[in-house]
Structure 1
Amino acid sequence: MAAPWSRFHLRLHRLLLRRPQLLPQHATLLLAVSGGQDSMALVGLLRDLQRLHHWRLLLWHGDHGWRPESAQQASALADWAAKEGLPLERQRWDTPQPDEASARQWRLACLQHRAALAGASRVVTGHTASDRAETLLLNLARGSHRRGLASLRPLRPLGDAVQLARPLLVFSRGETAEIQRQLQLPVWSDPSNDNPRFSRNRIRAEVLPVLEALHPGAGRRLSGLSSRLADEQDSQEQLEQMALQSLLSDPNDPRAGLRRRALMALEPGNRRRLLHAWLQHQGNAELAAAPLERLLEGLEPERGPGALQLPGGSALHWDRERLQASSGGGKQGLASSP
């Protein structure tokens, strides 16, 4: 019997043809399956597309132990997967914590370990465009940097040889519900998704519905904005790399110092951006705005040599021509000669 085919299958199939690195053909994929609507839609779509992309599909379910019925639901999910011929591994959290951040860290650590053991190059989650819109709003309210507003990327590193893939970002939560109904997939609901003590649930239940009522399609547009911000950030980082090459005292040595005069000849905003990028490439901790400004003041052409101790024990030092980083030592604070 041929696998079902719908406009949702076609949309995902075309995405994977355009972006083959998202879920490479013949790859081993480890699917994170909660049993909820989004993750079951993920399983259904990839199961049906498997014949075209020749994946090896493995399923993983994490039981947080937050609810008395969670073990029973995990068993029911395992029984369904066995009937579908899909291998599923279950893990229960031995020391459950009641917060989202700890649960997420536990899941990712388990998934990374399991992927390495199974030889899976991709850990795949069922995050949707609706999740990305919620994340954008949460990070915006927290005063996040641009990087936070561009979170939930389709593909990001999870370990040395494993990447986290989110192929369902092209679907809304309403569409995954339709996929689940069309494919007649079972769903095991989690009451914690309605608990208002979790900030994401309040965004989902109270904020986004208001925005959708005021401006229909708001969630889709917010997700699109996050995607564009991610593309702009990637583009900016590429341009930063090119600009940094021109500032290195030795372009063939990635750890070479910066040409001080060339750096300080740039516009103030570009000085900050490139100095920040260079420090990150040196493996140094990110400087806050105030010490970064003090460093730039010390690098002004009329100032002499100086040094700055960085968090973690490394240090910066400069003469009139060059700014360099060292792995240890240096003066406390900022010192500069006239």
Structure 2
Amino acid sequence: MKAILPWGPLQHRLHRQLLADPKLLPPGRRLLLAVSGGQDSMALVALLLELRRLHGWELHLWHGNHGWREEAGAQAAALASWAEARGLPMLVERAPAGSADLTRGAEATARRWRYERLSRQARRLGSLHVLTGHTGSDRAETLLFNLARGCGLRGLSSLRARRPLHGPIELVRPLLRFSRAETAAFCEQHQLPLWLDPGNADPRFSRNRLRQEVLPVLEDLHPGAWRRMGALAERLESTQQRSEELALLALAALEAPLPAASADSPEQGPGLRRQGLSQLSPGTQELLLDLWLERNAGVRLGSAGLGALRQRLPLARGPGSLNLPGGRSLLWDRQTLRLHRTLSAPNPCQP
């Protein structure tokens, strides 16, 4: 297929980035792109279309309609027609009825639905790479947001360039070294159609207020602030990755073997030796608990939740328990922490 855009500086930058980091988007792979129709995702599609002739990718698009706007269906159809005209297969999916209310928690609910459907479509296509159009501006916002609400090192290094999504499928964000202003200028220069979501300006969403009221002030005071915050997030990500690799080795030494299965002992995975854990520093205890819970229960408690749990684990505090999301509970005696299946309600403190 003939390239639809002239070669420009953004293509050069992304091409050089992919050559320097070939694992980000390996050549010849089938890629699934999440496309909202906004400037960032449209810039991503156009850039990869231009670079496809050099990298040999097979591109597939996915669009999720949450039903938050009356015109959303028509916009999804127009986006699909645009993709079809360029030979790009695209799946449009509608969120379940009842999920269209702009209430507290709507952002998180919508994000979970999108990633679940993207994972399913990736498995159907045999794709190991799901791409989003998140930019360095998004990463700067996430760093500030998590810093303000309180989080650990892992939260400050959020929006990684690559992270596991489901099994061997990775979520990839190729545009983290580009700003939102650059993707907007790119779309305008190349006259790309945009299907804008008015919800991106809705002050009921906390991220929108940060985007509209905080970041512009920082950029005015220190131009290029988004880039420096992104570089900080990358350094924190590297530090966190090294810590987690070492922590996995420590977990192996602390894990207690799983007892013989029985109806009265429905443990899930190996336990943790409480005494060995309690001898470590508070920060190390929380890091190990975080990794262990995520690996064995798929649960993240967040910085405050981990701190509260750690304070209950000294041997002098005796046995205890904690209800976890997903029908699980954490129980501990003097020797061991173990996971059990329960019928308890989800933990409202789960982030």
Aligned position for 1:146? 153
> Is the aligned partner of 1:112 residue 2:119?
yes
Deviations 1:247-276 (A, max 9, x none): 5689xxx9476494x666655544554466
Deviations 1:87-135 (A, max 9, x none): 1222233422323222222222222222222222111110000111111
Aligned position for 1:316? 332
Paired AA for residue 236 in structure 1: S
Paired AA for residue 235 in structure 1: R
Aligned position for 2:101? 97
Cα distance in 2 for residues equivalent to 1:66 and 1:249: 48
Q: 1:8 to 1:279 in 2, by over 3 A?
A: closer
Assess if the C-alpha contact under 8 Å between 1:97 and 1:103 holds in 2.
no
Kindly state the Cα deviation for residue 283 of structure 1 after the two structures are TM-superposed: 4.5
Paired AA for residue 191 in structure 1: P
Assess if the C-alpha contact under 8 Å between 2:273 and 2:337 holds in 1.
no
The 5-angstrom pairing of residues 250-329 of structure 1 reads 255=270, 258=273, 260=275, 266-267=280-281, 269-271=283-285, 273-274=287-288, 277=291, 283=297, 288-298=306-316, 307-311=319-323, 312-318=328-334, 323-326=335-338
Aligned position for 1:31? 33
Query: How many pairs align?
Result: 315
Assess if the C-alpha contact under 8 Å between 1:154 and 1:167 holds in 2.
yes
Aligned position for 1:303? none
> Is the aligned partner of 1:167 residue 2:174?
yes
Kindly state the Cα deviation for residue 213 of structure 1 after the two structures are TM-superposed: 1.2
Cα distance in 1 for residues equivalent to 2:278 and 2:139: 38
Kindly state the Cα deviation for residue 236 of structure 1 after the two structures are TM-superposed: 1.0
Q: 1:120 to 1:97 in 2, by over 3 A?
A: farther
Cα distance in 2 for residues equivalent to 1:176 and 1:328: 48
Cα distance in 1 for residues equivalent to 2:83 and 2:289: 51
153-162 vs 52-61, greater mean Cα deviation = 153-162
Q: 1:78 to 1:155 in 2, by over 3 A?
A: same
Deviations 1:203-228 (A, max 9, x none): 11111111111121112222222222
Structure 1 residue matching 2:6: 3-state secondary structure: coil
Greater gyration radius: 1
Assess if the C-alpha contact under 8 Å between 2:286 and 2:307 holds in 1.
no
Q: 1:65 to 1:265 in 2, by over 3 A?
A: closer
Aligned position for 1:334? none
Deviations 1:119-167 (A, max 9, x none): 2211111000011111122222222232222111111222123221110
Paired AA for residue 87 in structure 1: P
> Is the aligned partner of 1:222 residue 2:226?
no
Aligned position for 2:10? 8
Aligned position for 2:20? 18
Paired AA for residue 324 in structure 1: T
Assess if the C-alpha contact under 8 Å between 2:272 and 2:338 holds in 1.
no
The 5-angstrom pairing of residues 225-240 of structure 1 reads 225-240=232-247
Paired AA for residue 234 in structure 2: S
Cα distance in 2 for residues equivalent to 1:39 and 1:280: 30
Kindly state the Cα deviation for residue 278 of structure 1 after the two structures are TM-superposed: 5.1
Aligned position for 1:208? 215
Structure 2 residue matching 1:219: 3-state secondary structure: helix
Q: 1:130 to 1:280 in 2, by over 3 A?
A: closer
Paired AA for residue 166 in structure 1: R
Kindly state the Cα deviation for residue 9 of structure 1 after the two structures are TM-superposed: 1.1
Kindly state the Cα deviation for residue 40 of structure 1 after the two structures are TM-superposed: 0.7
Structure 2 residue matching 1:169: 3-state secondary structure: coil
Q: 1:295 to 1:92 in 2, by over 3 A?
A: closer
Stretches of structure 2 that go unaligned for 5 or more consecutive residues are 258-268, 342-351
TM-score by length of 2: 0.79
Stretches of structure 1 that go unaligned for 5 or more consecutive residues are 300-305, 330-338
Kindly state the Cα deviation for residue 316 of structure 1 after the two structures are TM-superposed: 3.3
Cα distance in 2 for residues equivalent to 1:272 and 1:205: 35
- Aligned identity (percent) is 50
